[in-house]
Structure 1
Amino acid sequence: MLTLHMYHNSDTTKSKKFLTVIAAVIAGFALLLLSLSFLIWRKFQRRRMGVAVFDDIMRGECPTYLLETIRASTDGFRPENEIGRGGFGIVYKGQMPDGQEVAVKRLSAENRVQGLKEFKNEVDLIAKLQHRNLVRLLGCCIHCSDRILVYEYMSNKSLDTFIFDPRRRATLSWKARMDIILGVARGLVYLHQDSRHTMIHRDLKAANVLLNEEMVAKISDFGIAKLFSSSGDNSQDSTITERIVGTYGYMSPEYAMDGMVSFMQDVYSFGVLLLEIVSGRRNQRSFNLIAHAWNLYEENRSLELLDPAVRGGCSPAELEHVKTWIQVGLLCVQESPSQRPQMAAVIPMLSHQQAPGRPLRPVVCMPARTPVDLLNMEENTSSNELTITNLEGR
């Protein structure tokens, strides 16, 4: 009897193990089906979103190109034709059938949903803009997973390839730097108040300022630009966003910390860019350019900020201009948006038609950990990523 009982227990144990294995197989198969269903649904949603975006574009003002035409213009997107690479894709030099040279931005297939939103945003906004200091969008293409933007070709690439290069920055005289700064300022005035659709760029930086053959500065990359309705005094117009996107070192404190969006955000970025062009140095965590410029200004040594590559070739009158422009740059990076000048007032200051006021001690918003270029985070988490530094004047 004992032997039979032992056999019975053994059979029961085997049956339980068998049932457990069967249950695990069924659960795994069900999980696999759910995963496949989710992938199919997501692919369908992306395709539907892509069709909707394509329909919107076809009804809009932006010309469209066939993929075959763009592929032929870049020799099949050959690596040898690559002229730039960023977080959203690769830029190629191309030549259209009529001989026109173009810059073809092929957006990355990764992060398609967000990338598609930024693609649509850029097409919707920049197609409506026409200004000497804004890069002109010639057309676009959507084909399956390909999302492509076609721009006028800028032979000298971006400003950062000049201003931060130890050898090439010497080719930018003070006169050339003045023209670049004024060009960017005029482009921002157009965006903020003179265009049909006033907007905030939100990611103004040296890499997004392109230079053509005549070294005319043109603002590019409108993927995260935001339409904004102005009530007249646009220094007071603001809104709060939950999605903070931009570049460390160029973000205004109120935007980086609280998600507050206003025209003054671009003014802050312009101030940083102005100081970078004057000095030939990048504002980053390893070198706090704003703090350095402020300390020199406080000690009446502003001219020491000027790039040594051009300092020796400046006349006494130009050196006086340099001091004024540094003062304007410090005004643009003031802590409070209300303390910064509007872009329409910046140009008269730079042109010596209006005397700039005395700046107050600025604050600097820099990453607390690693300098990541692109942010995509909720407003409540920004305090974990950024730090505000008060600059003590000496």
Structure 2
Amino acid sequence: MMQFSVCVLFLVLLAPLMLVVSADTGFNDDVLGLIVFKAGLEDPKRKLSSWNEDDNSPCNWEGVKCDPSSNRVTALVLDGFSLSGHVDRGLLRLQFLQILSLSRNNFTGPINPDLPGLGSLQTVDLSDNNLSGEIPEGFFQQCGSLRTVSFAKNNLTGKIPESLSSCSNLATVNFSSNQLHGELPNGVWFLRGLQSLDLSDNMLEGEIPEGIQNLYDMRELSLQRNRFRGKLPADIGGCLLLKSLDLSGNFLSGELPQSMQRLTSCTSLSLQGNSFTGVIPDWIGELKNLDMLDLSANSFSGWIPKSLGNLDSLHRLNLSRNQLTGNLPDSMLNCNKLLAFDISHNHLAGHVPSWIFKMGVQSISLSENGFSKGSYPALTSTPTSYHGLEVLDLSFNAFSGVLPSGIGGLSSLQVFNISANNISGPIPVGIGELKSLYIIDLSDNKLHGSIPSEVEGAISLRELRLQKNFLGGRIPAQIDKCSSLTFLILSHNKLTGSIPATIANLTNLQYVDLSWNELSGSLPKELTNLSHLFSFNVSNNHLEGELPVGGFFNTISSSSVSDNPLLCGSVVNHSCPSVHPKPIVLNPNSSGSNSSISSQTHRHKIILSISALIAIGAAAFIAIGVVAITVLNIHVRSSMERMPATFALSGGEDYSGSPANDPNYGKLVMFSGDADFADGAHNLLNKESEIGRGGFGVVYRTFLRDGHAVAIKKLTVSSLIKSQEDFEREIKKLGKIRHSNLLALEGYYWTSSLQLLIYEYLSTGSLHKLLHDDNSENVFSWPQRFKIIHGMAKGLAHLHQMNIIHYNLKSTNVLIDCSGEPKVGDFGLVKLLPMLDHCVLSSKIQSALGYMAPEFACRTVKITEKCDIYGFGILVLEVVTGKRPVEYMEDDVVVLCDMVRGALEEGKVEQCVDGRLLGNFAAEEAIPVIKLGLICASQVPSNRPDMAEVVNILELIQCPSEGLQELE
């Protein structure tokens, strides 16, 4: 007995120890399983840094939740962690896992069929990843307690497995946005506990099978955007609890089944984009809980049923793109909660009832019907109920009359379209009071008068369409106040006067059509600054003078400027008349032979015969020709004699050659008019005039005869340069490039042994000098630095748009003008080399240490515009930090890119901003800019964004409300 008592006591004392050992074993399983899972992942944001294999428990790890009583892992929620890799078998060790949520990551590979083997698993969410392959049949053969499963937004293929029907506990199934095909398994309707089924955005086909009435608890059914065909199952009305039914975007046909009138709990019904026929049934009015009804893009016919007036909870109604006839029933006045109303693209006719505009709706679309004249709403009084109206589309009807003068009272109006009607009269000045308006389309009417200058008040305007009217007068210069304009379409009117230069201030313009008017004068040269232009049409006007050169106008089509007889330029194949001084200078004190002959002819017109007049005229013509040829010869000899002197080089450099033995000796070409260098050869190419050196040559400053300063680059790659023909072809291409953030090439000089490039001169100096010169008193403010970064991005984006790679981007090649705008220089010079060889490129840009993309070191990697984006990223960091790309310390070398990246990982990125700013910078702009710089300076070229994307991101940084998720 004593021995038995001792044994019992021993077991009692041992029991807690056994529980601890058992618990520890469980902890080790959870830790081991998660560590194995982590080992197969990439974690770029270090979200799983807290997962330490030396920990005894994972319960404090990021994304891990445990049962407080057992300390076993019950939930793994890693949504949006930017993880990539496979869903590893290590998770199978988590025997008490109930929730597995890995959505919004980048997991790849197939779905692990063994996951439901975790007997306690209730929720699996693998949505919004890059999973591929088929949904494994075995996944649902051991689904046990599984209630929610989502594979939405992946790349899954194959069919929906038949085994799905065996998961009787399933309440939510979401396979949307994949590439699943085949028919819907009949067994799906046996999941009696199913409450939500979303199979939208796949390629499922066949008919929707009968039996859906078995889903007593079904609340949401989404089968939209598939390939289902045939009629709806007649028993669909058996889902009495159904609140949302979306079957849009399929090939369903026939009439709506009568049983649907039992769906009285339904709040959202969308059948849009099918082939349903017949009339809209009267019983639709019995679905009194409907909040949204969309029957658009079908083949419904007949009148709109009066019973729609019973839907007093309705917010959105869309009956567009059907074959409905008749008019709108007055009973709809009872739909007093209606916010959006679209009956466009039907055969409705008659008058528009006034109650439409008294219901407080936000969006009304009646376009493409047959509503008749005199029946569009009179908005002159602008009652309070109109003030919430945001969209009003009355286009393509037969409305007449004039636009109401009180339209400015529609303070919330964003879209106003009354095109293709018979509206007459002037455009009301009240248009300028619509501060929220961003689209106005009054085209194809009978409007007259002028475009009111008050349009400047519509400050949010993006599209202004007034084509095909009878508008006259001038285009108001005040239109530049509409700074968001992207579309300016004023064609087929009677507009007069010149095109205002202020249009060039509309920097967002993409499409401009001023054709078929009576515009005159010349095209403003400033139009070349419109860097976003896709189309600019001024054909069939009375414009004259030279076409702008640069930007979009270098590639404008001839049809866009045709039928302007006095326009000149290469595009219209009509050379412009010379405006340069003529070589013959007449003595102003002489009476002039022509006037003398004219007066003598007048006095003796009766005496002189016709033959005598011809003889005298011929003699005078010959005499003038002789004089002209003589003067021209003298002028040419003088120019040829001056040229060697003008380009005589100091420092003992002798470029022998003469017109006798080198016909191309001293060929000077200026792209905008004739010019020559000022007297005094000591100002050209001497040591005192040197202002910079680079991989392609030495830069000097000199002056033209008109006092205009220019920068001359003496190329030091003569041995590598192509032939004169190739050289001139490439240089002329570069000379046509004009952009506010690119340094203009103004001309060149050629001999067989000397090549000079003539650039515009900026006295302010280079970005490198202004950032790093210890003697510089200039400290850029943060807005100035942002302006520089934005400008450099726009300049590079323009180059890349023209398929030009810079190759040699660095701060010494970025100049700053007097207004603080950056101008990128030295672009395109690599084209002068015989081949784009890695070795040649590296030797030419070896001075760009720190800016060179890593692909230059790999001969097998193709050099693309991505090398420029890398250099731009380094430039961004240089501008923000004020530090050089590589700095040499006494016992260390600091690489700027690595330093900033390390600071970012440590959460100290703000400390990288140039200390000279003393905290006077916008952190909400500076930090995203730094992150953008690091992204651009990625080691992998494909990870770097395009320059056009960079420009867009920078503009978003200035508008945080637009969102910058990619940089966070």
TM-score by length of 1: 0.64
The 3 A distance-change label for structure 1 pair 70 and 99 is closer
The 3 A distance-change label for structure 1 pair 97 and 176 is same
Which residue number in structure 1 is paired with residue 736 of structure 2?
128
Higher relative contact order (CA 8 A, sep 6+): 1
Please give the alpha-carbon distance, in whole angstroms, between the structure 2 residues aligned to 1:137 and 1:217.
15
CA contact (8 A) 2:792 2:822 kept: yes
Paired amino acid for 1:176: Q
| CA apart distance, 1:161 | 0.3
Which residue number in structure 2 is paired with residue 336 of structure 1?
940
Identity %: 32
| CA apart distance, 1:69 | 2.7
- 2:884 is the counterpart of 1:287: no
Which residue number in structure 1 is paired with residue 710 of structure 2?
102
Q: Deviations over 1:231-263 (max 9, x none)?
A: xxxxxxxx9856433322112112332352112
Q: Deviations over 1:317-351 (max 9, x none)?
A: x1221111001011111122221111111122222
The 3 A distance-change label for structure 1 pair 260 and 144 is closer
- 2:878 is the counterpart of 1:276: yes
How many residues were matched structurally?
288
CA contact (8 A) 2:678 2:705 kept: no
Q: Give 1:308's match in structure 2, choosing from 894, 912, 915.
A: 915
CA contact (8 A) 2:679 2:705 kept: no
Paired amino acid for 2:902: N
Which residue number in structure 2 is paired with residue 37 of structure 1?
none
Which residue number in structure 2 is paired with residue 325 of structure 1?
929
Paired amino acid for 2:880: V
The 3 A distance-change label for structure 1 pair 88 and 347 is closer
CA contact (8 A) 1:88 1:115 kept: no
Which residue number in structure 2 is paired with residue 355 of structure 1?
964
Paired amino acid for 1:199: I
| CA apart distance, 1:96 | 1.1
CA contact (8 A) 2:805 2:828 kept: no
Please give the alpha-carbon distance, in whole angstroms, between the structure 2 residues aligned to 1:76 and 1:199.
30
Q: Give 1:297's match in structure 2, choosing from 904, 908, 919.
A: 904
- 2:807 is the counterpart of 1:202: yes
The 3 A distance-change label for structure 1 pair 71 and 205 is farther
Please give the alpha-carbon distance, in whole angstroms, between the structure 1 residues aligned to 2:665 and 2:858.
32
Paired amino acid for 1:222: F
CA contact (8 A) 1:270 1:332 kept: yes
Which residue number in structure 2 is paired with residue 218 of structure 1?
823
The 3 A distance-change label for structure 1 pair 341 and 139 is same
| CA apart distance, 1:119 | 6.4
Larger mean CA deviation between 286-295 and 99-108 belongs to 99-108
CA RMSD of aligned residues (A): 3.3
- SS in structure 1 at match of 2:714: strand
Larger mean CA deviation between 271-280 and 212-221 belongs to 212-221
Please give the alpha-carbon distance, in whole angstroms, between the structure 2 residues aligned to 1:82 and 1:102.
12
CA contact (8 A) 2:793 2:951 kept: yes
CA contact (8 A) 2:711 2:761 kept: yes
CA contact (8 A) 1:65 1:139 kept: no
| CA apart distance, 1:148 | 1.2
Q: How does 1:69-108 map to 2 (within 5 A)?
A: 69=677, 72=680, 75-108=683-716
| CA apart distance, 1:284 | 1.8
Paired amino acid for 1:218: K
Which residue number in structure 1 is paired with residue 853 of structure 2?
252
Paired amino acid for 2:932: V
- 2:777 is the counterpart of 1:172: no
The 3 A distance-change label for structure 1 pair 211 and 112 is same
The 3 A distance-change label for structure 1 pair 224 and 81 is closer
- 2:748 is the counterpart of 1:140: yes
- SS in structure 1 at match of 2:701: strand
Please give the alpha-carbon distance, in whole angstroms, between the structure 2 residues aligned to 1:205 and 1:124.
24
| CA apart distance, 1:127 | 0.9
| CA apart distance, 1:65 | 7.4
CA contact (8 A) 1:349 1:355 kept: yes
CA contact (8 A) 1:64 1:139 kept: no
Which residue number in structure 1 is paired with residue 719 of structure 2?
113
| CA apart distance, 1:169 | 7.0
Q: Deviations over 1:343-384 (max 9, x none)?
A: 11112222224515259xxxxxxxxxxxxxxxxxxxxxxxxx
CA contact (8 A) 2:684 2:700 kept: no
Paired amino acid for 1:84: G
Q: Deviations over 1:190-214 (max 9, x none)?
A: 1112xxx321111111011011121
Please give the alpha-carbon distance, in whole angstroms, between the structure 2 residues aligned to 1:292 and 1:169.
27
Please give the alpha-carbon distance, in whole angstroms, between the structure 2 residues aligned to 1:175 and 1:276.
15
| CA apart distance, 1:153 | 0.9
CA contact (8 A) 1:156 1:213 kept: yes
CA contact (8 A) 1:122 1:225 kept: no
Please give the alpha-carbon distance, in whole angstroms, between the structure 1 residues aligned to 2:838 and 2:854.
14
Please give the alpha-carbon distance, in whole angstroms, between the structure 2 residues aligned to 1:310 and 1:349.
24
CA contact (8 A) 1:73 1:95 kept: no
Which residue number in structure 2 is paired with residue 231 of structure 1?
none
The 3 A distance-change label for structure 1 pair 70 and 138 is farther
Please give the alpha-carbon distance, in whole angstroms, between the structure 1 residues aligned to 2:866 and 2:810.
15
Please give the alpha-carbon distance, in whole angstroms, between the structure 2 residues aligned to 1:206 and 1:121.
28
The 3 A distance-change label for structure 1 pair 216 and 116 is farther
- Show structure 1 runs of 5+ residues with no match: 1-42, 44-49, 228-238, 360-394
Q: How does 1:50-69 map to 2 (within 5 A)?
A: 62=671, 69=677
- SS in structure 1 at match of 2:863: strand
Which residue number in structure 1 is paired with residue 406 of structure 2?
none
Please give the alpha-carbon distance, in whole angstroms, between the structure 1 residues aligned to 2:666 and 2:731.
11
Paired amino acid for 1:257: C
CA contact (8 A) 1:70 1:96 kept: yes
The 3 A distance-change label for structure 1 pair 70 and 150 is farther
CA contact (8 A) 2:900 2:912 kept: yes
The 3 A distance-change label for structure 1 pair 80 and 53 is closer
| CA apart distance, 1:273 | 0.4
CA contact (8 A) 2:678 2:707 kept: no
- SS in structure 2 at match of 1:113: coil
The 3 A distance-change label for structure 1 pair 208 and 226 is same
| CA apart distance, 1:183 | 0.5
Q: Deviations over 1:30-73 (max 9, x none)?
A: xxxxxxxxxxxxx9xxxxxx989999x97xx957978x736747
The 3 A distance-change label for structure 1 pair 263 and 327 is same
Please give the alpha-carbon distance, in whole angstroms, between the structure 1 residues aligned to 2:817 and 2:682.
20
Q: How does 1:154-173 map to 2 (within 5 A)?
A: 154-168=762-776, 170-173=778-781
CA contact (8 A) 1:199 1:226 kept: no
Larger mean CA deviation between 341-350 and 113-122 belongs to 113-122
- Show structure 2 runs of 5+ residues with no match: 1-654, 656-661, 888-892
The 3 A distance-change label for structure 1 pair 170 and 312 is farther
Which residue number in structure 1 is paired with residue 799 of structure 2?
191
| CA apart distance, 1:146 | 2.4
Please give the alpha-carbon distance, in whole angstroms, between the structure 1 residues aligned to 2:696 and 2:855.
26
- SS in structure 2 at match of 1:149: strand
CA contact (8 A) 2:665 2:751 kept: no
The 3 A distance-change label for structure 1 pair 320 and 74 is farther
| CA apart distance, 1:104 | 1.7
- SS in structure 2 at match of 1:150: strand
